C-alpha cells in the first residue's frame, strides 16, 4: 500500500510541510526530511526548484532562485534522496513545475522516484486532461499518486472531475492567491472549506496556501483532513537555519 | 498540412494550455467564448471601425524603390509603424480590450518588454476608461524610460518585476501571478502570440488584419494576392503571425522568419530560439524555448528589448519544425546596420526589432522578379538613444 494511503487512514489531522530542495544549503535535503519526520510531521513535499515558478509568491521564488544558485538539479536531488528510505518512512511527495520533469523524461523521472521510494507527485502546471491522455499510465506503472489542485473558483463540476481522477488526496488551495501571500483566513475561506466538506468527495482534502501558524492550521483542518505549510517554513529556515526545526513544528501543534 | 491551431490550441506538437488550476476558470471561459465573441457581427464592426478611425488602418503597403534597387528584387513594406502608438501591437490590444468588455472584466493587466505593448495596452485602457496595470522588468524600466513615461501619462500604473532577471520573462511571470491573485474581475492582455491556449490563436487572429490587407493591397499593385515571400522578425512572434496568417496554407508563398542572434548564435548572448531552443513549457505553452539541460529557462540577450524573450510562439515552432518557414537570425550589428540603411534609402527609421527583418538581405539572395513583403512592425522613435549610442550620432 502506498504510504500516502496509509497515512490518510490515520485518525488525525495531518501536518504536511513543503520545503525547497537545495535551500538554505545544497545538501540540507536529507537532514530536513529526517528532522521533520522525527518531530512528528505527517507528510513532506520536496520542492524541486524551477527558474520561473509562476504560482509562487516571493518567499518560494527566492528560495528556488537560491537553491538553483546553490547547484540544485533534478539529478542532484535524486542522488541526495537515493538512500532516504533507509532512514525515514514518512510519505514523500515531489512537488515542482512540469518543464524540469519533461526535460528529465517523464518515464525516467517516474522510474527514479519509484526506485527512491517517492509516493506522489504534485505538478501544478500539468493539467488534468494532459495528465490523463499522456501520462497517467506511466505514473500508475511506477506507483506514484498524482495530486491535483482545486481553488475557490473551481466549478463544482470540475471538482467532481478532479475527485474522480484523483487517488489519494486533493490539494485544496485556500484562496485566490499565489503561495505565501495571505494573512489569516476570513469568512470567504471558512465558507469555501465548508462548501467542499459538504460535497462528499471520495478523496480527502489537504489545504495549502496561507497556512502559517497554529491558528490557520486549526481553521483549515476543521473540515479538511490536513494542511500544508510551505512559505512560513521556508521563512523560518531563512531566519533560523535547519538546526531547530523542532521549534517550528511545536508552534503548529 | 494545417498550420493553424486546432481546437485544443495545438500547432502540430506545440501549444496547449499548461496552466495551474488557479488560472483554469479564466482560461477556460476565454477558450469557450473567444471565437463566438470575436466573430459576432457587432464585435467585428466595432473592431474594424476602431482599426480604421482610431488606429489609422489600413496601413499602407509601400513599394520601396531604392531598397529594391539596392537588393535587386521587388520589396514592399507593410507599414505597421504608421499605426497609432507606432507598432503592430495596437491591433491586438484593440481586439482584446473589446473582448475584456464582452467578458465583463473591469481591470486590465499586461506585461511589456520594450514598452510597446504596455503603451498599446495603456492606450486602449484610456480609450475605454478601464484600470490598467502594466508589469515591466526593473531593468527594462531603466532602459525604456520614454515608454514608461508614456504609459504613466496614459493613466496606467507601471509595476516593476523584481524577480529573476527583471526583464520580459519575469514581467510575464508577475502578470500571471497578478491574475492568480485577481481571478474574477481581471483580464490579462498578453502582447505576443504566446501563452496558454487560446492566447496564441486569439492574438494571431487579431493580428491577421496585417496579411488580410497585404492580399488586397498587393492585388492592386501587382495584380496578384500572393507575394513570393513574406518576411518578419520574431521575438514571441505576434507581428510575424499576423503577417503570415493568410499565406500559411498558400504553398507558393515563402515564409521567412528572422530571429535575434544578439552577439552571435554561438556566443551565449543570443535570443535565436529556433537555433538554441528545445521543446519545453514556458508561460503555459509547449514550444521551443531556451533552457538548460535541467529544464531551467535561460536568459536570452538581444539589443532589442522586444525580441529579448527565451521562447517563441507555438505556431512558429511548428512552422520551423515542419519546414514551412525558413528561419534566419540576425546579429545586433546586422540589425542596426539594416536599420540605418532603411533610414537612409527610404527615409524610414525602424524599431530595432524591425531592423532584424531587414537584415534578411545579409542572409538570403532573392531573384530580380521576386515580390518580397517585409513587415515594418514598428517605428524607431523609442530606439533613438540606442541608435545614437551605437552609431555615435551625437
Residue pairs spanning A and B at CB distance below 8 A: 108
Q: Is residue A206 classed exposed, middle or buried when 0-12, 13-18 and 19+ CB atoms within 10 A define those classes?
A: buried
CA distance linking residue B368 with residue B80, whole number of Å = 25
Do residues A173 and A151 touch, judged by C-beta distance below 8 A? Answer: yes
Measure CB to CB from residue A98 to each of B180, B281, B294 and give the nearest one: B281
Residue B12 included in any domain: no
Strand partners, A44: A17, A92
Q: pLDDT at residue B294 above 90?
A: yes
Angle of CA points A51, A54, A55, to nearest 5°: 125
> Does some domain include residue B15?
no
Last residue of a domain, which of B149, B182, B202? B202
In this structure, what CATH number is given to the domain that contains residue B242?
3.40.50.1100
Can you spell out the DSSP letters for A130-156?
HIIIIIHHHHHHTTPEE--EE-TTS-H
**Residues A153, B176: C-beta atoms closer than 8 Å:** no
Count of residues making up chain A? 253
A188 touches chain B (CB under 8 A): no
What pLDDT, on a 0 to 100 scale, did the predictor assign at position B165? 79
Distance from the Cα of B101 to chain A's closest Cα (Å) equals: 20
Q: Which residues contact B394 (CB under 8 A, 6 or more apart)?
A: B388
Helices (H), chain B: 24-38, 41-50, 65-71, 89-102, 116-128, 138-143, 145-153, 168-181, 199-207, 209-222, 238-244, 273-276, 314-322, 332-346, 352-358, 384-391
A154 touches chain B (CB under 8 A): yes
Chain segment B120-136, per-residue pLDDT in tens: 999 999 999 999 999 99
Residue A102 has its nearest CB partner, among B182, B280, B284, at B280
Q: How far apart are CA B65 and CA B74, in angstroms?
A: 8
**Mean pLDDT over each residue of chain B, to the nearest integer:** 96
Both B255 and B218 in one domain: the answer is yes
Is A61–B280 a contact, with Cβ atoms under 8 angstroms apart? Answer: no
Q: Are residue B263 and residue B184 in the same domain, yes or no? A: no
HEC string of B345-368 equals HHCCCECHHHHHHHHHHHCCCCCC
Measured between alpha carbons, how far is residue B231 from residues A7, B46, B83, B179, B335 in Å?
60, 30, 19, 34, 14
B192 and B326 share a domain? Answer: no
Mean pLDDT of B162-189: 92
What is the full per-residue pLDDT of chain A (253 aa) written as tens digits? 799 999 999 999 999 999 999 999 999 999 999 999 999 999 999 999 999 999 999 999 999 999 999 999 999 999 999 999 999 999 999 999 999 999 999 999 999 999 999 999 999 999 999 999 999 999 999 999 999 999 999 999 999 999 999 999 999 999 888 888 767 888 889 999 999 999 999 999 999 999 999 999 999 999 999 999 999 999 999 999 999 999 999 999 8
Residue B167: its pLDDT value, please? 86
- Name which of A73, A125, A188 to mutate to probe chain B: the one with the most chain B Cβ atoms within 10 A of its Cβ: A125
pLDDT at A6: 97
Q: Using the 8-state DSSP alphabet, how is residue B306 labeled?
A: G
Q: Which residues of B are catalytic?
A: 89, 111, 377
Domain that holds residue B164: 20-50+89-202
Best mutation target, B24, B195, B310, to test chain A (most A CBs within 10 A): B24
Q: Which chain B residues have a beta carbon less than 8 Å from that of A126?
A: 18
DSSP 8-state code for residue B326? E
Residue B179 maps to a domain:
yes
* B294 lies in the same domain as B329: yes
Q: Which of B166, B185, B202 is the last residue of a domain?
A: B202
CA distance A98 to chain B (A): 7
For residue B11, being part of any structural domain is answered with: no
Name the domain count of chain B: 2
Interface ipTM: 0.95
Measured in degrees and rounded to the nearest 5, phi and psi for residue B272 equal -80, 80
Shared domain for B359 and B216, answered yes or no, is yes
B285 found inside a domain? yes
Q: Where are the beta strands (DSSP E) in A139-242?
A: 145-146, 149-150, 170-173, 205-208, 226-229
Identify from A22, A53, A55, A106 which residue to disrupt to test chain B contact, counting B C-beta atoms within 10 A and taking the largest count. A55
Distance (Å) from the alpha carbon of A40 to chain B's nearest alpha carbon: 30
Which grid cell is B197?
A: 491556449
DSSP helix, strand, coil percent of chain A (3-state; round to 5): 50, 15, 40
- Nearest 5°: CA angle at A130, between A120 and B296? 70
- Alpha-carbon radius of gyration of chain B: 19
- Identify which of A58, A126, A151 has the shortest CB distance to residue B18: A126
Q: First-to-last CA distance in chain B?
A: 52
Indicate if B257 and B322 belong to the same structural domain: yes
Instruction: Write b or e for each residue in B351-380: b if 16 or more Cβ atoms lie within 10 A of its Cβ, otherwise e.
Output: bbbbbbbbbbbeeeebeeebbbbbbbbbbb
Contact A125 B293 (CB under 8 A): no
Same domain, B80 and B98: no
With residues binned 3-state (H G I as helix, E B as strand, rest as coil), the percentages for chain B, rounded to 5, are 50, 20, 30
The answer to whether position B188 is within a domain reads: yes
CA angle B83, B140, B88 (to 5 degrees): 15
Q: Which residues contact B88 (CB under 8 A, 6 or more apart)?
A: B80, B207, B210, B238, B239, B242, B375, B377, B378
d(CA B136, CA B142): 10
> Does one domain contain both B258 and B272?
yes
Please report where in the chains the cell 505576443 appears, as a residue.
B192
Q: DSSP letter at A168?
A: S
Contact B10/A at CB under 8 A:
no
How far is Cα B164 from Cα B171, in angstroms, rounded to an integer? Answer: 9
Residue B145: pLDDT band by 50, 70, 90 thresholds?
A: confident
What is the reported pLDDT for B139? 87
CA B336/CA B342 separation, integer angstroms:
10
Q: Which of A99, A146, A155 to mutate to test the interface with B (most CBs of B within 10 A)?
A: A99
User: What tens digit of pLDDT does each residue of B80-108 get?
Assistant: 999 999 999 999 999 999 999 999 999 99
Cross-strand bridge partners of residue A213: none
Q: What is the pTM of this model?
A: 0.97
Q: How far apart are CA A45 and CA A18, in angstroms?
A: 4
Pairing mode of beta strands B229-234, B254-262: parallel
Report the DSSP pairing between strands B10-11 and B14-15.
antiparallel
| Partners of residue B183 in chain A, C-beta under 8 Å | 151, 153, 176
Rg of chain A (C-alpha set): 17
**Cβ pair B282:A74 closer than 8 A:** no
First to last CA, chain A: 28
Whether residues B124 and B232 fall in one domain: no
Tell whether B5 is covered by a domain: no
Q: Which residues contact A9 (CB under 8 A, 6 or more apart)?
A: none
What's the CATH superfamily of A13-252? Aldolase class I (3.20.20.70)
B169, B202, B235 - which closes a domain? B202
B234 with B366, same domain: the answer is yes
Q: Is B293 exposed, middle or buried (0-12, 13-18, 19+ CB in 10 A)?
A: exposed
Q: Domain spans of chain A?
A: 13-252
- CA A125 to chain B, closest CA, distance in angstroms equals 4
Determine which of B2-11, B165-174, B286-295 has the lowest per-residue pLDDT on average: B165-174
Q: Identify the closest residue of chain A to B176 by CA–CA distance.
A: A54
Residues in contact with A126: Cβ distance below 8 Å, sequence separation at least 6, in sequence order: A98, A101, A135, A146, B18
pLDDT at B262 exceeding the cut of 80 = yes
Residues B381 and B292 in one domain: yes
Q: In what order do the strands lie in the sheet with B131-137?
A: B157-161, B131-137, B107-112, B186-189
Residues B65/B69/B71/B75 CA torsion (nearest 10 deg): 30
Measure Cα distances from B359 to B231, B239, B273, B336, B384 in Å. Answer: 10, 16, 17, 9, 19
Query: Whose CA is closest to A97, among B163, B13, B20, B22?
Result: B20
Q: How far apart are CA B335 and CA B260, in angstroms?
A: 8
Q: How confident is the model at residue B159 (pLDDT cuts 50, 70, 90)?
A: very high
Find the residue in B nearest to A153 (Cα): B25
DSSP assignment letter at B380: S
- Interchain pair A154, B278: CB under 8 A: no
Among the partner residues B20, B280, B297, nearest to A149 by beta-carbon distance: B20
Note whether residue B37 is domain-resident.
yes
Q: Chain B neighbours among A 124-143 (CB < 8 Å)?
A: 124-127, 130
Find all residues with CB under 8 Å of B91, minimum gap 6, and list them. B51, B55, B57, B83, B206, B207, B209, B210, B242
B172 plus B233 within the same structural domain? no
Amino acid at each position: 500500500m502506498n504510504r500516502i494511503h496509509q497515512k490518510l487512514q490515520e485518525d488525525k489531522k495531518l501536518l504536511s510541510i513543503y520545503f525547497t530542495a537545495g535551500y538554505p544549503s545544497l545538501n540540507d535535503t536529507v537532514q530536513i526530511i529526517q528532522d521533520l519526520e522525527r518531530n512528528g510531521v505527517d507528510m513532506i513535499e520536496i520542492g524541486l526548484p524551477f527558474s520561473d515558478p509562476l504560482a509562487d509568491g516571493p518567499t518560494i521564488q527566492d528560495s528556488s532562485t537560491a537553491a538553483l544558485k546553490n547547484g540544485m538539479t533534478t539529478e542532484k536531488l535524486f542522488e541526495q534522496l537515493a538512500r532516504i528510505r533507509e532512514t525515514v518512512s514518512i510519505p514523500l511527495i515531489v512537488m515542482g513545475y512540469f518543464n524540469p520533469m519533461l526535460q528529465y523524461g517523464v518515464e525516467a523521472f517516474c522510474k527514479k522516484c519509484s526506485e527512491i521510494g517517492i509516493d506522489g507527485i504534485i505538478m501544478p502546471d500539468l493539467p488534468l486532461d494532459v495528465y490523463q491522455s499522456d501520462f497517467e499510465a506511466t505514473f500508475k506503472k511506477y506507483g506514484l499518486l498524482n495530486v491535483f489542485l482545486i481553488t475557490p473558483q473551481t466549478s463544482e463540476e470540475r471538482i467532481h472531475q478532479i475527485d474522480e481522477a484523483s487517488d489519494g488526496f486533493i490539494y485544496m488551495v485556500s484562496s485566490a492567491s499565489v503561495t505565501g501571500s495571505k494573512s489569516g483566513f476570513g469568512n470567504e475561506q471558512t465558507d469555501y472549506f465548508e462548501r467542499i466538506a459538504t460535497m462528499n468527495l471520495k478523496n480527502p482534502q489537504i489545504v495549502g496556501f496561507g497556512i502559517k501558524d497554529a491558528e490557520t492550521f486549526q481553521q483549515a483542518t476543521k473540515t479538511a483532513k490536513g494542511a500544508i505549510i510551505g512559505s512560513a517554513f521556508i521563512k523560518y529556515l531563512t531566519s533560523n537555519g535547519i538546526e531547530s526545526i523542532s521549534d517550528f513544528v511545536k508552534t503548529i501543534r | 498540412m494545417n498550420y493553424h491551431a486546432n481546437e485544443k490550441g495545438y500547432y502540430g506538437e506545440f501549444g496547449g494550455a499548461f496552466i495551474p488550476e488557479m488560472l483554469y476558470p479564466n482560461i477556460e471561459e476565454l477558450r469557450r467564448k473567444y471565437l463566438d465573441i470575436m466573430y459576432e457581427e457587432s464585435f467585428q464592426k466595432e473592431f474594424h471601425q476602431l482599426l480604421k478611425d482610431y488606429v489609422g488602418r489600413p496601413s499602407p503597403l509601400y513599394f520601396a524603390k531604392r531598397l529594391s534597387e539596392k537588393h535587386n528584387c521587388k520589396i514592399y513594406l507593410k507599414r505597421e509603424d504608421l499605426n497609432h502608438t507606432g507598432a503592430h501591437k495596437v491591433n491586438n490590444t484593440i481586439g482584446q480590450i473589446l473582448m475584456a468588455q464582452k467578458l465583463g472584466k473591469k481591470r486590465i493587466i499586461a506585461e511589456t518588454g520594450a514598452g510597446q505593448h504596455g503603451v498599446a495596452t495603456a492606450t486602449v485602457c484610456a480609450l475605454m476608461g478601464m484600470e490598467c496595470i502594466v508589469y515591466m522588468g526593473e531593468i527594462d524600466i531603466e532602459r525604456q524610460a520614454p515608454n514608461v513615461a508614456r504609459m504613466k501619462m496614459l493613466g496606467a500604473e507601471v509595476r516593476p518585476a523584481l524577480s529573476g532577471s527583471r526583464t520580459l520573462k519575469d514581467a510575464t511571470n508577475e502578470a500571471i501571478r497578478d491574475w492568480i491573485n485577481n481571478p474574477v474581475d481581471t483580464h490579462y492582455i498578453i502582447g505576443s502570440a504566446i501563452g496558454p491556449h487560446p492566447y496564441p490563436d486569439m492574438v494571431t487572429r487579431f493580428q491577421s488584419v496585417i496579411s488580410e490587407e497585404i492580399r488586397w493591397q498587393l492585388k492592386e499593385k501587382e495584380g496578384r494576392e500572393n507575394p513570393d515571400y513574406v518576411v518578419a522578425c520574431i521575438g514571441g512572434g505576434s507581428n510575424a503571425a499576423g503577417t503570415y496568417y493568410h499565406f500559411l496554407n498558400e504553398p507558393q508563398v515563402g515564409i521567412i522568419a528572422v530571429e535575434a542572434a544578439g552577439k552571435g548564435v554561438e556566443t551565449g548572448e543570443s535570443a535565436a530560439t529556433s537555433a538554441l531552443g528545445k521543446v519545453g513549457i514556458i508561460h503555459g505553452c509547449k514550444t521551443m524555448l531556451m533552457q538548460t539541460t535541467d529544464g531551467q529557462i535561460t536568459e536570452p540577450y538581444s539589443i532589442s528589448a522586444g525580441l529579448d524573450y527565451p521562447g517563441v510562439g507555438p505556431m512558429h515552432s511548428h512552422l520551423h519544425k515542419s519546414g514551412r518557414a525558413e528561419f534566419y537570425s540576425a546579429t545586433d550589428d546586422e540589425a542596426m546596420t539594416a536599420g540605418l540603411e532603411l533610414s537612409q534609402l527610404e527615409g524610414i527609421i525602424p524599431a530595432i526589432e524591425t531592423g532584424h527583418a531587414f537584415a534578411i538581405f545579409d542572409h538570403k539572395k532573392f531573384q530580380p522578379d521576386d515580390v518580397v513583403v517585409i513587415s515594418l512592425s514598428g517605428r524607431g522613435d523609442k530606439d533613438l538613444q540606442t541608435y545614437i549610442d551605437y552609431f555615435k550620432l551625437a
